[in-house]
Structures are given as structure tokens and as C-alpha cells.
């Protein structure tokens, strides 16, 4: 079999795979999905065994980091069986196994995740106010999430908080969030709201808070030292000299971060998206199910990577959202 590494048309090695295991979630965050979402029929989802095979094929082709996403990945039945299998690839092709979660199920699974070799977890958290948290998530409860974060920390996992910057919602919590993360020892990354999927009554142009403004507010109070750190991903980092904190900024709308992109995403139905901000995709479910041999699957992956674009098309600068039609919960966070 040919296991030469995956290189896209712009000479970028593909070493990072994000796999969505479900489009379902136990929250209904207003910037992510409509309150009454139509989820995929369960029959359309890849089985956990198929997800194991698919992820394994990518690892054989040079992927070194695997992130499990959703929806909310920890609501999928028997999801820990996937983590247990993938943990067997750590040190055997895979350098890192991690997860992005809303934190609602972390109290249940933190110890088991740590036992599977998960050393870091990303938790989405946009406010520390219980009432605002209930409003933004529609179905979520803040104490449950804070308890999950505490469980992850107690299990020895490093926690990174991902906060979506929302105008008129959490602007006043910039410094309380910063102080809380400093006290708990969590890293913090701010994210601009992304134009993905129809939200019903919600208008993302009204929600959009550019991180250039957020960063300027930080700079009024603190000394920000830019860091040269790059992961091939979208985040750009600074260190706050007064506290030593590392703060990340993901700015798809005010800064194009595509030049070093090293990642692709697979949905829970086996669609491979070469770019989060483009509609082009490749069907991996068909070759996965057509043969017990992984040769056709690997060939389909290679063919798709050859179409990976140079960058995305997100743009709010003209007062319109250059958006994609699918929801973030479908593609994987």
C-alpha cells in the first residue's frame, strides 16, 4: 500500500484531522444552530467501527493529531469505545488525541478520557453568568459545565476555553473571563462568530464583534507580547506580560489564516471537507463501505486532498456574510 504523506496542491502537509462523530448536541447555542434543528437520521451516520477505520486510514497517511468533535461528541452512545481504539494509535503514528466539547458530559467522562491518553480538551464557554449562559445555549446549565471543567482539570487534562466574541452579549465579560481563566490555569482563545448555516431569527452581522476591537481593549490594560507560535491552525497567540497568560485569537473574518493550514474535517456521514469555509467535499462513506480493504479509501482521500483550496471565502467586510449553507454542528467544530 502507498502510505506517502498527504501533501496538498500548495505544498502543505495534512497532519491534523477533525472528525465529527454526531451532528446532535444537548445545547442549542444561538450562533450555532436553530432551536428546532432537523438532525440527520441515525442510519446515515458512520458507525463507530467505520469511524475507527476512517481515522486509522488518515493516520496511516501521516495525520499526527486527531480531534473528536460534533455536535457534542460525548452525547454519542458508546463514544468511549472510539477513544479507546484511537488511544492505541498514540505513539504508533498518532501524536495527539483530543476532543472539543461543550463540557456538559465532562463530569461523566473526564477520567476515562484521561485514561485514553487525552491530555488536552477544548471547552466552549461564552459567559460566566448563569442566566446569560442559559439564554445563549437555550438548553444549557452553567454549573454542569463548570463541574465538567473542574473534573477535566482534576483528571490531569489541560483545559482550553474557547469563547465566541458576541457584540452586546459578552463584551462586558472580557476581563472577568480573563481573570477566571488565570485563576484556574486555563488557556483562553477568542473566536469571531462564523457565517455557517441558517439561524432563523438570529442575525450574525448583529452579533459580530471583531477581535481587533477586543484585542485593543486588552492592550489598554495589559502589555501584549505577540508569540511566534504556530500550529498550522487559525489561532494567533499573545502572552500577557502582567499575568503570563497565553491568549489566542481566531479571526476568520478579519485575518486570513489559511497559508499554513494543515487540517481537514470529516463529518459524521463520511464527507471530507478540505476547507471549513468552502462547499467542496468528497464522499468517503462509499469507498469505506465498498471494500474491506482500505486501498480505495486511501485513494479517495488522496484525490480529495489534491483539491484542497488555498483559502476560505468568509467575509463580513461588505456588510454581507459570505457564508456556507451547512451548520457548524454538521461539519464539526
Which residue ranges are tagged as binding site for GTP?
Answer: 18, 67, 100, 160, 263-265
Beta strands in 119-173 (DSSP E): 120-124, 158-165
Q: Is the distance from CB of 70 to CB of 103 less than 8 angstroms?
A: no
Contacts of 89 by beta carbon, 8 Å cutoff, 6+ apart:
56, 59, 66, 97
Q: Which residues are annotated as a binding site for [4Fe-4S] cluster?
A: 25, 29, 32, 258, 261, 275
Contacts of 131 by beta carbon, 8 Å cutoff, 6+ apart:
none
Q: Which residues are annotated as a binding site for S-adenosyl-L-methionine?
A: 31, 71, 124, 194
Give the neighbor-by-neighbor strand order of the sheet with 224-226: 224-226, 236-240, 246-250, 187-192, 158-165, 120-124, 96-101, 65-69, 16-20, 263-266, 271-273, 281-283
Q: Tell me how crowded residue 260 is: count the other CB atoms within 10 A of its CB.
A: 12
DSSP secondary structure string, 10-49? TS-B--EEEEE--S--S---TTT--TT--PPPGGGSPPHH
Q: Is the distance from CB of 96 to CB of 119 less than 8 angstroms?
A: yes
Q: Is the distance from CB of 189 to CB of 160 less than 8 angstroms?
A: yes
> What does the block give as the cell for 265?
474535517
Q: Are strands 65-69 and 281-283 parallel, antiparallel or unpaired?
A: unpaired
Distances (CA, A) of 133 to 29, 145, 186, 249: 9, 10, 19, 22
Q: Is the distance from CB of 192 to CB of 254 less than 8 angstroms?
A: yes
State the chain's maximal CA–CA distance in angstroms. 59
Q: Which residues are annotated as a binding site?
A: 18, 25, 29, 31-32, 67, 71, 100, 124, 160, 194, 258, 261, 263-265, 275
CA distance linking residue 98 with residue 146, whole number of Å: 19
Amino acid at each position: 500500500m502507498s502510505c506517502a504523506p498527504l501533501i496538498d496542491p500548495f505544498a502543505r502537509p495534512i497532519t491534523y484531522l477533525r472528525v465529527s462523530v454526531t451532528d446532535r448536541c444537548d445545547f442549542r447555542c444561538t450562533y450555532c444552530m436553530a432551536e428546532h434543528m432537523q438532525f440527520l437520521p441515525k442510519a446515515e451516520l458512520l458507525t463507530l467501527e467505520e469511524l475507527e477505520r476512517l481515522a486509522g486510514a488518515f493516520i496511516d497517511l501521516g495525520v499526527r493529531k486527531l480531534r473528536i468533535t460534533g455536535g457534542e461528541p460525548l452525547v454519542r452512545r458508546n463514544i468511549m469505545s472510539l477513544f479507546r481504539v484511537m488511544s492505541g494509535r498514540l505513539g504508533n503514528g498518532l501524536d495527539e488525541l483530543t476532543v472539543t466539547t461543550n463540557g456538559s458530559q465532562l463530569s461523566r467522562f473526564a477520567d476515562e478520557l484521561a485514561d485514553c491518553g487525552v491530555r488536552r480538551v477544548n471547552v466552549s464557554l461564552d459567559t460566566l453568568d448563569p442566566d446569560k449562559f442559559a439564554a445563549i445555549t437555550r438548553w444549557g446549565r452553567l454549573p454542569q459545565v463548570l463541574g465538567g471543567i473542574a473534573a477535566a482539570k482534576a483528571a490531569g487534562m489541560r483545559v482550553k476555553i474557547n469563547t465566541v466574541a458576541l457584540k452586546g452579549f459578552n463584551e462586558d465579560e472580557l476581563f472577568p473571563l480573563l481573570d477566571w481563566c488565570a485563576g484556574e490555569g486555563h488557556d483562553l482563545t477568542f473566536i469571531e462568530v462564523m457565517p455557517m448555516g441558517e439561524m432563523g431569527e438570529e442575525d450574525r452581522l448583529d452579533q459580530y464583534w471583531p477581535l481587533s476591537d477586543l484585542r485593543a481593549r486588552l492592550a489598554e490594560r495589559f502589555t501584549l507580547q505577540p508569540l511566534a507560535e504556530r500550529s498550522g491552525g487559525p489561532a494567533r497567540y499573545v502572552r500577557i506580560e502582567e499575568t503570563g497568560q497565553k491568549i489566542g485569537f481566531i479571526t476568520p473574518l478579519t485575518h486570513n489564516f489559511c497559508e499554513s493550514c494543515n487540517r481537514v474535517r470529516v463529518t459524521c456521514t463520511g464527507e471530507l471537507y478540505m476547507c471549513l469555509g468552502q462547499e467542496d467535499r468528497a464522499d468517503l462513506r462509499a469507498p469505506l463501505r465498498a471494500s474491506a480493504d482500505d486501498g480505495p479509501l486511501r485513494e479517495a482521500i488522496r484525490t480529495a486532498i489534491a483539491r484542497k483550496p488555498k483559502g476560505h471565502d468568509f467575509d463580513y467586510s461588505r456588510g454581507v456574510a459570505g457564508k456556507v449553507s451547512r451548520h457548524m454542528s454538521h461539519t464539526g467544530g
